[in-house]
């Protein structure tokens, strides 16, 4: 129990708040009903992740992380949202994302998942130097909520955003767990993400070109 007076350093608190923003933007994505605002929220979330990377770089004096921060900023805050927004603009139909559940139900489910994630992390013997353990718990929550997002939404934009934000959650987790990861590996991860984004974009276009919609409701032919 955090007794009076033993308040942790303000820096850690700031990092916690940013990590919280990552989770809150995930929740916002979950409930947001416009594809466009979902993409913007993703951009905001990526911004928070980049800031966290910069925070770790500064406090841990890991110069390589600055480069990573810059890369992920350019890629995830600017390029990806721009590409998807353009796609959404081109389609012009059903830019409202769809829900399979009521918003309140969804948020409650997501809360349950978050609690689960945080409690699991709470039982782990992890001691990180780079970020408070809370960030790891929140990252776990982000990942779980991202799964929920992909499951309860049935349009390709939401599903793609769900995957990208899952990756953001993993990024936060990796900042906690593996801040010292060698640069070459980090760059490989990022490069991979880039390729994945291209593929997602391509498939979204294929899907849109074939079915004139971004909804996945038409994707029910293959079953059994």
Partner 1 sequence: MTGVELDPVEIQVLQDLTILVFAPFVSGAIAHLGARLQGRRGPRVLQPYYDIAKLFRKETLVPEEASWVFLAGPVVAFACYLTVPLLIPVLTQYPLPLGYMGDILGGGFILSLAGFAVALAALESGDPYAQLGSSRAMTFGALIQPSILFVTFTVALVTATDLPYFEAAAVRSSLGQAIAPAHLLAAVAFFLVVLSDTGRIPVETHASTLEFGMIDEARTFEHSGPALALLKWGAAMKQLILYVILINVFAAPWGEAGSRQVGAVLLAIPAFIGKALGVGVIFAVIDNSFSKLRLFKITEFMAVAFLLAVLAVLVLFLGAR
Partner 2 sequence: MGAILVAILVAPFVVSLACLKVPLVVAKALSLVSGAASFGLAVALVPSHEVTTALSGWLRVDALSVVFLVAVTFLYAATAVFAVGYIQPGGGAAEVRYSRRFFAGLNLFAWAMAMTPIVNGLALLWVAVEVTTVVSALLVAIGDTDGAAEAAWKYVLIASMGLGIALLATMFMYYAGSTVLGGSYELFYSRLLGAAPRFPPEIVRLSFGLAVLGFGTKMGLVPVHTWLPDAHSEAPTPVSALLSGALLTVSFYAILRFYQVTVRAIGPAFPRDVLLVFGLASLVLAALYLASQRDLKRLLGYSSIEHMGILAIGMSFSAPIAIVGVLLHVLAHAAAKSTAFFGAGNVIRKFGTKDMDRIQGAVGALPLSGPMFLLAILALSAMPPFGIFRSEFLIVEGGLSTRATALSAVLIVLVTLAFFGLSWYASQTLLTPTSDSVAPGEVSPWMAGSMVLGLLALVVLGVHPPAQLSGLLERAAAELGARR
The three-state DSSP-derived secondary structure of 28-62 is HHHHCCEHHHHHHHHHHHHHHHHHHHHHHHHHHCC
The residue within the footprint of partner 1, chosen from 3, 61, 210, 221 (CB under 8 A), is 3
| Residue 193 CB partners (closer than 8 Å, separation 6+) | 75, 76, 167
Nearer to partner 2, 7 or 169 (CB): 169
Q: Which stretch binds partner 2 (CB under 8 A): 11-19, 51-59, 98-106, 191-199?
A: 191-199
The residue within the footprint of partner 2, chosen from 78, 195, 212, 217 (CB under 8 A), is 195
The residue within the footprint of partner 2, chosen from 25, 50, 114, 174 (CB under 8 A), is 174
215 phi/psi in degrees, rounded to 5: -75, 150
Largest CA distance in the chain: 62
Kindly identify the residues of this chain, within the stretch 9-68, that bind partner 1 according to CB under 8 A. Answer: 9-10, 13-14, 16-17, 20, 23-24, 27, 31
Question: Is there a contact between 183 and 60 (Cβ–Cβ < 8 Å)?
Answer: no
| Shortest reach from residue 47's CB to partner 1, in Å | 18
The residue within the footprint of partner 2, chosen from 69, 159, 214, 215 (CB under 8 A), is 159
Q: Using the rule CB under 8 A, is 169 a contact of partner 1?
A: no
Q: Can you read off the two tokens belonging to residue 199?
A: 């593929």
């Amino acid at each position: 129990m955090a007794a009076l007076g033993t308040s942790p350093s303000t820096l850690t608190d700031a990092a916690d708040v940013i990590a919280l923003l990552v989770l809150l933007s995930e929740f916002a994505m979950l409930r947001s009903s416009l594809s466009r605002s979902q993409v913007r929220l993703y951009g905001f979330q990526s911004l928070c992740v980049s800031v966290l990377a910069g925070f770790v770089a500064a406090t841990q004096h890991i110069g390589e992380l600055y480069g990573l921060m810059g890369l992920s900023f350019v890629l995830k805050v600017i390029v990806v949202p721009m590409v998807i927004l353009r796609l959404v603009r081109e389609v012009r139909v059903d830019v409202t994302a769809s829900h399979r559940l009521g918003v309140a139900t969804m948020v409650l489910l997501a809360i349950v998942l978050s609690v689960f994630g945080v409690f699991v992390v709470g039982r782990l013997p992890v001691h990180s130097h780079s970020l408070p353990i809370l960030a790891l718990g929140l990252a776990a929550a982000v990942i779980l909520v991202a799964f929920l997002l992909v499951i309860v939404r049935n349009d390709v934009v939401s599903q793609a955003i769900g995957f990208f934000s899952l990756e953001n959650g993993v990024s936060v987790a990796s900042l906690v767990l593996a801040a010292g990861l060698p640069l070459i590996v980090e760059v490989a991860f990022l490069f991979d993400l880039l390729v994945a984004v291209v593929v997602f974009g391509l498939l979204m276009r294929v899907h849109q070109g074939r079915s004139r919609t971004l909804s996945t409701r038409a994707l029910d032919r293959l079953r059994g």
